[in-house]
C-alpha cells in the first residue's frame, strides 16, 4: 500500500527536521494547517475521551473514501492529529484497517506518542478513527 | 530441582528451618527479587495518564502484567482483570458491588469449606440484605456432595461462592459442575482460587465461573496484591466501590463519573511494584514444565499421606487431592504439637486455618497442616517426620501420675 | 547531599531524566531496597498468630513498624495505627465505617483543594445518606479562609475533611485551627496528610485531628501501603468494613465477632513486605537532620518560585508554602508544555492533578506541577528552567499565518 | 527481690534439662501438677483470648498475697502456665508489677514463648495476670 501524497509530505518534513526544535516546529506548523472546528461543532459526541487536552474528531464519507477532521485546544496535539489525519484521509475503511499505526509513527519519529498510557490520548484517537471507520 | 530458584530456601536451611507452610504464603523466586530491585533502583513513577516517558514505561509494564494475568487464567479479555490488595479485598469488593443485586429472601450458596475471606463478606452481605446463607453439604472425604448440591439450587439462589481447593483439607472441589448448575439457575458464581491456582492450570472460561479470585503471594508472587477476574458482561456493570484518583472521568463538587472496568475498581495509587513483581513470577512459572511440577507435587503429597498414615494415632482430615494435608493426633493438642515441631525447626500451620465453621463441622478444635509447593522436597518431609516422631514420643507418653 | 542515598537518581541521570514529580511518588532510599531484599531472600512468612519462629519474627518486625509509625506521627498509642493499601483506601474505610454516624441533612465540610481521594468517598457518603457537602472558601493565595470557615461550622456539621498541604498549590492549610473548630462543634476531623507528612514533622496530637491519613509511597516508602491514624476512643468504636482472615475472634456459619482495632480493620494477608519496607524508610528519615532537610527544601522552593516569576507569561497558582508549585503559561496549553518538557527529560506532572473541583475553582483547564523532595537539587531546577525556556521559545512563537 | 521457693525449683529443673527432650518432659510434668479446673469452673469470663488452646485463669487473694490458678486443654501450655504461676503466686500486687517476665522466661530458656505474636498466648496470659492483680 503506497502512502497518500500528503502523508509522504509530512514524512519528508519530519525526517528532514529530526532535532527537538525542528521536529516540534514542524508539528506546530502542521497543527496550524488543521482546519479548526467552529466552536459550535465541538459537541460532546465528537470528544475523544482519555486525552489531557480536548480533542474532537469527526468522520465524513466521500464515496468509499473517508475524511476525518479533528481539532484540539493544544497546538502540538493538533500537529500530532494532523500526522494521523494526513495518513488516514482518503482511504477506504478497508484500507484504514490495514494501516500500521505504530510503524507510521515510528517513521515520523513519534512512536512514543502512541503508547496507550500516554496522557496525550493519541492512542485513543487512533482507536476512535478505527471505530468511526468501521461504523461507516 | 526448582528449589534453587528460591533464594530464601538456602537461608532457611542454614538456620535449620524447614518451610512447610506455603499455603499460608510462598517463598519468592529470584526472578521476583530481581524485578523488584530493578524497578526500585532504576526509577519509580506513578501509573496511568503518563505525562512523561518514565511514567509511560512503568504504566506499560504495569498493564502488561494485566495481559499476562489474563493469559495465565484464560480470561477472554484483559479488562476482566482487576488488581486488588489481596484475595480478601477482592471478595469484599464483590460482596459490596453485588449488594444492589441481592434482595431479602435471596439465597447465597456456600460450602462449609470456605476460608473466612470467602465467607465473612457474604455473611455480612446476607445480614445487610436479609438474605440467607445456604450450605452445601460435604462428604466424609471433604468434597462438596454434588447430589445434595444439585437439590439446593432454586430460583431464590442468587450466588454461589466456593473454593477450588480447600486450604484445610487439600480437596479439589467440583467447581466446574457447580458453576454450570449456578448458570442454569441464573445464579452468579464466585470461585476462590487462592489455593487452586497454585497447584494446577486454571482456565476461567473452561471453569465457567463469573468471578475468580486469588492472591499473588501464594502464587510465588508478592504480598499486597490480589486479583479479581470478572466476566466482562458482569464486571462492566458493577458499580465502583472505592473512590479516589485514577478511577474517575469527570469530577465536580457535586458529582462524579467513572472509568470503565477495570480502572473504576482501582482507586488511588495501586501496588505498582507488586504488580511488576507478579509479572516476573508469572514469567517464571510460565517457563516451567508445569506437568513436571504437578508430578513432583503429586509424589510429595503421596509421600506425606503415606507417612502420616503409618503413624499411630494420627488421623488425616478429609482425603487431600493436592498440595496440603491437615491432621489431628489422638489425645494430643495441636498447639502442643505445633510448639514441639517449631522447636525442631518445622514451620507448619496449626489451629483453625481461618476456617472456623469447617473445624466445627469436622468436630475438631484445630489441626496441624503441612503444605507443599513446587520447591518442596522429600528431604523436607523426612525432617518433618523425624520431628513429628520426636514430638509424639513426648506427647504420647503416659503422663506420670 | 542526600541524593546519593537514592540509587534510582543515578540511573535516571544516566538516562538524562530529571525527576521533579515526587509529589506523585517518591524515589526510594537504598535502605528500603535492602530491607525488601533481605526479607524476601531470608524467608517470608505470613503474620499474626504465629505458630513458628519465622512467623513470629516477621510478625514482630511487622508490628514494630506500627510502633514506629505511631512514634513518627506522635500517636498516643500503637493501636491507633491501621495499615491500608493506600491513603485512598484509608479514606474509603473512614467514609464507610463512619456511615452509620451520618444522617440526612448532616453537613460534611470540605475544602475545594481536596484531592479526589479525600473528596469522592465523602461525596458518595453524602449521596448515600442525603447529607450535604459544604465547601470552605479559599483565598487568592490558595489557603482556606479561616474567617469564612469559622462561620460554616454549625450544629449540623458532622465532619471536617481537609488536606494539610495542597498537592496542587503547595499551600499549607490551617489544619490545627480547623480541627479545633471541629472539636468545638462536635464534628469529627479527618486530615489528609499525604503531602503534608513528607515535608514537615507531624504530631497528630498537636494537630488535634481525629483521623490522619497518608500513603507510604510518597514518604520515600513502598507503594501498596497507606496508614490510617485514628484517635483510640473513636477508632475502637468503628465497625469493621472489610471482612476475612485475621480480623476475627470467633466465626460460626451464622455470625462472627471481631478483633479490636487495629486488627479488625486489617482483613486478610496485609502487605507485609511493604510494611517492613516502610519501617526501613522511617528509620532512614529519623536518622536525617530534619531541620536541614526543611532548610534545603525551602531554598529549593524559593529558587523554583523565583525562576518561574522571572519568565514572561508564567503564572503560579496560589502561593506555595512547601515543596511544590503549579503554574500555567498564557496562551500555552499545559499538554503541549508537558510534551516538550518530557522530550527534554523533565518529569513533571501536567493536568488536573486529581483535583478537578480545584481546577474549576481556579478557572484553569490544567497546570504544570513541579514537585520537590529532599533529594532534589538546584541542578535539577536549572535543567528544568533550560527545558522550560526551550519549550516556551517554541510555544510562544507567533504562529506562522 | 528474691525468687519464691517454688520458682527457684522450676528454674533448677529447667536449667538442669536443657535438651529438647528434657525441657519438654519437665514442662509436661509441671503441667500435670497444675490443679485442673473442674469443668463447671471453666466459665467464659476466665477464658484468656488470643491463645490457640483454651486457657483459663483466675485469681484469689489471701491477705495481700495473690494466688492464681490456671488451666488449659493443651498439656505443654499447662506447663508454661505453671512456670508463670509458680513465679507469680504468693506475691502482692505491688511485687507482681515489678516481676521482669521476659527475664524470667529467658532464665527458663523459654523466652521465645512470650512474644506477643505467638499463638500460644503466653503474653496474653501475663497481661491477664497483671490486669487481675491490678483489679484486686
Ligand atoms: C482458600 C483461601 N482463600 C482466601 C484466602 C485469603 O487470602 P489473602 O489473605 O491473601 O487475602 C486464603 C489465604 O489464606 C485461602 O487459603
Ligand atoms: C493530597 C493527596 N491526598 C491523597 C492522595 C492519594 O494517595 P494514594 O494515591 O497513594 O492513595 C494523594 C496522592 O496523589 C495526594 O496528593
Residue A50: the pLDDT is: 78
- Indicate whether A40 pLDDT > 80: no
- β B346-347/B256-258 pair status: unpaired
- Indicate whether D91 pLDDT > 90: yes
Q: Kindly identify the ligand whose nearest atom is closest to the C-alpha of C121.
A: 2
Ligand 1 pocket check for B215: Cβ under 6 Å: yes
Residue C258: the pLDDT is: 96
CB C333 to CB A32 under 8 A? no
Distance CA C249, CA B116 (A): 11
Is B387 in the C-facing interface, judged by CB distances under 8 Å?
no
Selection from C203, C217, C202 nearest residue C373 by Cα: C217
Residue B75: the pLDDT is: 98
pLDDT digits (tens, 9 = 90+) for C357-396: 999 999 999 999 999 999 999 999 999 999 999 999 999 9
Strand segments (E) across chain A: 55-62, 65-72
Residue D40: the pLDDT is: 63
Give pTM, 2 decimals.
0.96
- β B226-230/B211-215 pair status: antiparallel
Cα-to-centroid distance, B214 and ligand 1 (Å): 8
pLDDT confidence band for A111 (50 / 70 / 90)? confident
What are the Cα distances from residue C318, in Å, to B60, B69, C101, C109, C139? Answer: 34, 44, 35, 21, 9
pLDDT confidence band for D117 (50 / 70 / 90)? confident
* Pick among C16, C328, C334, C336 to test the A interface (most A CBs inside 10 A): C336
Q: Which chain B residues are within 8 Å of D21, Cβ to Cβ?
A: 390, 394
Given the residues A51, A55, A80, A125, select the one marked as catalytic: A51
* Catalytic site includes residue B354: yes
pLDDT confidence band for B238 (50 / 70 / 90)? very high
Q: Which chain A residues are within 8 Å of C345, Cβ to Cβ?
A: none
Mean pLDDT of the region A104-131: 89
Q: For B4-13, B244-253, D28-37, which range has the lowest pLDDT when averaged over its residues?
A: D28-37
3-state DSSP of C21-58? ECCCCCCCCHHHHHHHHHHHHHCCCCCCCECCHHHHHH
- Indicate whether D71 pLDDT > 60: yes
- The whole-chain average pLDDT of chain B stands at 97
Residues 6+ apart with CB under 8 A from C291: none
CA–CA min distance D6, chain C (Å): 29
CB B336 to CB D75 under 8 A? yes
Comparing CB atoms, the residue among D52, D112, D116 nearest residue C53 is: D112
CA–CA min distance C267, chain D (Å): 17
Q: Of C45, C83, C269, C271, which is best to mutate to test ligand 1, by the most ligand atoms within 8 angstroms of its C-beta?
A: C269
- The whole-chain average pLDDT of chain A stands at 88
All three cell numbers of C315: 503564572
Q: Which chain D residues are within 8 Å of B389, Cβ to Cβ?
A: none
pLDDT confidence band for C319 (50 / 70 / 90)? very high
CB C336 to CB A75 under 8 A? yes
Tell me which residue has its CA closest to atom 16 in ligand 2. C167
pLDDT digits (tens, 9 = 90+) for B345-369: 999 999 999 999 999 999 999 999 9
Angle at B394 between CA B390 and CA B397, to 5 degrees: 130
Cα-to-centroid distance, C195 and ligand 2 (Å): 7
- Indicate whether D42 pLDDT > 80: no
- The whole-chain average pLDDT of chain C stands at 97
What percentage of chain D exceeds 90 in pLDDT? 49
pLDDT digits (tens, 9 = 90+) for C329-366: 999 999 999 999 999 999 999 999 999 999 999 999 99
CB D117 to CB C47 under 8 A? yes
Nearest atom, ligand 2, residue B246 CA:
9
- Indicate whether D52 pLDDT > 90: no
CATH code, D26? 3.90.1010.10
- Indicate whether A1 pLDDT > 60: no
- Indicate whether D25 pLDDT > 90: yes
The domains of chain B, with CATH numbers, are 3-20+289-395 (3.90.1150.10), 32-286 (3.40.640.10)
CB C209 within 8 A of CB C178: no
Q: D129: domain range?
A: 5-135
pLDDT digits (tens, 9 = 90+) for C73-85: 999 999 999 999 9
C155 alpha carbon, distance to own chain's centre: 30
Residue D116: the pLDDT is: 84
Residue B399: the pLDDT is: 66
Comparing CB atoms, the residue among D29, D32, D75 nearest residue B333 is: D75
* Pick among D77, D117, D127 to test the C interface (most C CBs inside 10 A): D117
What percentage of chain C exceeds 70 in pLDDT? 99
What are the Cα distances from residue B177, in Å, to B26, B167, B188, B207, D2? Answer: 29, 20, 14, 8, 69
3-state helix, strand, coil in chain D (%, to 5): 55, 15, 30
- Indicate whether B401 pLDDT > 60: no
Q: Which chain A residues are within 8 Å of C343, Cβ to Cβ?
A: 20, 24
pLDDT confidence band for C399 (50 / 70 / 90)? low
CA–CA min distance A46, chain C (Å): 19
Residue B375: the pLDDT is: 98
CB D119 to CB B333 under 8 A? no
Residue D41: the pLDDT is: 72
Task: Please report the number of interchain residue pairs, chain C to chain D, with beta-carbon separation below 8 angstroms.
Answer: 25
Q: Which residue has the higher pLDDT, C206 or B401?
A: C206
Residue C145: the pLDDT is: 98
Is C243 in the B-facing interface, judged by CB distances under 8 Å?
yes
pLDDT confidence band for D44 (50 / 70 / 90)? confident
CB A117 to CB B50 under 8 A? yes
CB D20 to CB B344 under 8 A? yes
Ligand 2 pocket check for C111: Cβ under 6 Å: no
Mean pLDDT of the region C238-255: 95
Residue C160: the pLDDT is: 98
Cα-to-centroid distance, C336 and ligand 2 (Å): 25
Tell me, what's the ipTM?
0.95
Domain count of the fold of chain A: 1
- Indicate whether C401 pLDDT > 60: no
CB A59 within 8 A of CB A132: yes
**Beta-bridge partners for B258:** B248
Ligand 2 pocket check for B269: Cβ under 6 Å: yes
Residue D3: the pLDDT is: 80
Nearest atom, ligand 1, residue B217 CA:
10
SS3 state at B203: coil
Q: Kindly identify the ligand whose nearest atom is closest to the C-alpha of B87.
A: 1
CB B56 to CB A117 under 8 A? yes
Q: Which residue has the higher pLDDT, C64 or A16?
A: C64
Amino acid at each position: 500500500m503506497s502512502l497518500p501524497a500528503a502523508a509522504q509530505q509530512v514524512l519528508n518534513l519530519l525526517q528532514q527536521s529530526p532535532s527537538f526544535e525542528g521536529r516540534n516546529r514542524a508539528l506546530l506548523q502542521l497543527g496550524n494547517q488543521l482546519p479548526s472546528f467552529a466552536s459550535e461543532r465541538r459537541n460532546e459526541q465528537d470528544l475523544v475521551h482519555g486525552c489531557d487536552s480536548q480533542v474532537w474528531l469527526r468522520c465524513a464519507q466521500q464515496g468509499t473514501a473517508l475524511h476525518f477532521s479533528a481539532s484540539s485546544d493544544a497546538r502540538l496535539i493538533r500537529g500530532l492529529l494532523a500526522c494521523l489525519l494526513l495518513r488516514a484521509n482518503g482511504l477506504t475503511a478497508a484500507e484504514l484497517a490495514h494501516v500500521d499505526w505504530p510503524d507510521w509513527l515510528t517513521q515520523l519519529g513519534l512512536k512514543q506518542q502512541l503508547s496507550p498510557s500516554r496522557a496525550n490520548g493519541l492512542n485513543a484517537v487512533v482507536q476512535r478513527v478505527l471505530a468511526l471507520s468501521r461504523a461507516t | 530441582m526448582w528449589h534453587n530458584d528460591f533464594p530464601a530456601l538456602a537461608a532457611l536451611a542454614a538456620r535449620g528451618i524447614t518451610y512447610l507452610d506455603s499455603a499460608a504464603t510462598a517463598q519468592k523466586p529470584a526472578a521476583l527479587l530481581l524485578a523488584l530491585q530493578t524497578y526500585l533502583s532504576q526509577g519509580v513513577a506513578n501509573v496511568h495518564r503518563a505525562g512523561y516517558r518514565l511514567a509511560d514505561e512503568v504504566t506499560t509494564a504495569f498493564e502488561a502484567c494485566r495481559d499476562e494475568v489474563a493469559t495465565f487464567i484464560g480470561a477472554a479479555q484483559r479488562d476482566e482483570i482487576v488488581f486488588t490488595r489481596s484475595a480478601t479485598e477482592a471478595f469484599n469488593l464483590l460482596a459490596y458491588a453485588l449488594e444492589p443485586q441481592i434482595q431479602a429472601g435471596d439465597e447465597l450458596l456456600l460450602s462449609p469449606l470456605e476460608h473466612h475471606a470467602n465467607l465473612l463478606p457474604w455473611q455480612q452481605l446476607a445480614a445487610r440484605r436479609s438474605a440467607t446463607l445456604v450450605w452445601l453439604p460435604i462428604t466424609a472425604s471433604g468434597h462438596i456432595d454434588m447430589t445434595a448440591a444439585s437439590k439446593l439450587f432454586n430460583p431464590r439462589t442468587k450466588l454461589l461462592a466456593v473454593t477450588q481447593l480447600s486450604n484445610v483439607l487439600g480437596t479439589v472441589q467440583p467447581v466446574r459442575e457447580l458453576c454450570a448448575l449456578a448458570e442454569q439457575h441464573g445464579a452468579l458464581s464466585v470461585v476462590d482460587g487462592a489455593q487452586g491456582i497454585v497447584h494446577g492450570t486454571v482456565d476461567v472460561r473452561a471453569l465457567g465461573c463469573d468471578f475468580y479470585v486469588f492472591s499473588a503471594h501464594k502464587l510465588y508472587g508478592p504480598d499486597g496484591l490480589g486479583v479479581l477476574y470478572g466476566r466482562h458482561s458482569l464486571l462492566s456493570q458493577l458499580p465502583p466501590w472505592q473512590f479516589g484518583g485514577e478511577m474517575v472521568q469527570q469530577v465536580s463538587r457535586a458529582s462524579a463519573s467513572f472509568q470503565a472496568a477495570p480502572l473504576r475498581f482501582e482507586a488511588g495509587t495501586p501496588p505498582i511494584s507488586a504488580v511488576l513483581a507478579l509479572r516476573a513470577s508469572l514469567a517464571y512459572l510460565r517457563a516451567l514444565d508445569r506437568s513436571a511440577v504437578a508430578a513432583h507435587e503429586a509424589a510429595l503429597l503421596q509421600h506425606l499421606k503415606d507417612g502420616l498414615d503409618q503413624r499411630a494415632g494420627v488421623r488425616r482430615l478429609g482425603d487431600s487431592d493436592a498440595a496440603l494435608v491437615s491432621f489431628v493426633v489422638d489425645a494430643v493438642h495441636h498447639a502442643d504439637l505445633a510448639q514441639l515441631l517449631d522447636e525442631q525447626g518445622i514451620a507448619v500451620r496449626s489451629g483453625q486455618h481461618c476456617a472456623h465453621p469447617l473445624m466445627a463441622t469436622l468436630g475438631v478444635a484445630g489441626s496441624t497442616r503441612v503444605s507443599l509447593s513446587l520447591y518442596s522436597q522429600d528431604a523436607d518431609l523426612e525432617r518433618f517426620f523425624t520431628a513429628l516422631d520426636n514430638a509424639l514420643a513426648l506427647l504420647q507418653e503416659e503422663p506420670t501420675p
